[in-house]
């Protein structure tokens, strides 16, 4: 479970998520950043909402992202995210 510590140690701030939005959608983030990004979205309702709105805005203006959800989700398995969230919660006291 070493990788969980690594992820949590480098947890993104809301400001960073905002900065990474474009890179994420264009799939320029590496594996870890993508993982941290998605993890933050899952745990932060504000960023999650912002991200959805941002994505919708882009979808209206561009057709570059044909299957944004499928493509982006392909980088990081949902099972991994869920496992990390479970581990995070069980670590908190």
> Which residues contact Zn ion (rule: CB under 5 A)?
14, 44, 47
- Shortest reach from residue 36's CB to Zn ion, in Å: 11
Our CB check for Zn ion shows the closer of 38 and 76 to be 38
Write down the least CB distance from residue 52 to Zn ion, Å. 13
Q: What is the DSSP letter of 1?
A: -
Return the exposure string of 38-64: e unless at least 16 CB atoms fall within 10 Å of the residue's CB, then b.
bbbbeebeebeebbeebbeebeeeeee
In terms of Cα–Cα distance, which of 40, 50, 55 is closest to 88? 40
Nearest distance from C-beta of residue 44 to Zn ion, angstroms:
3
For Zn ion, which is the closer residue by CB, 53 or 62? 53
């Amino acid at each position: 479970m070493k990788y969980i510590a690594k992820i949590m140690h480098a947890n993104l701030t809301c400001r960073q998520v905002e900065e990474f939005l474009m890179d994420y959608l264009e799939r320029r983030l590496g594996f870890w950043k993508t993982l941290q990004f998605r993890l933050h979205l899952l745990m932060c309702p504000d960023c999650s909402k912002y991200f959805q709105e941002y994505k919708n805005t882009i979808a209206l203006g561009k057709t570059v992202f044909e299957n944004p959800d499928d493509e982006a989700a392909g980088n990081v398995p949902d099972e991994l995210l869920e496992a990390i969230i479970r581990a995070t919660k069980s670590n908190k006291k």
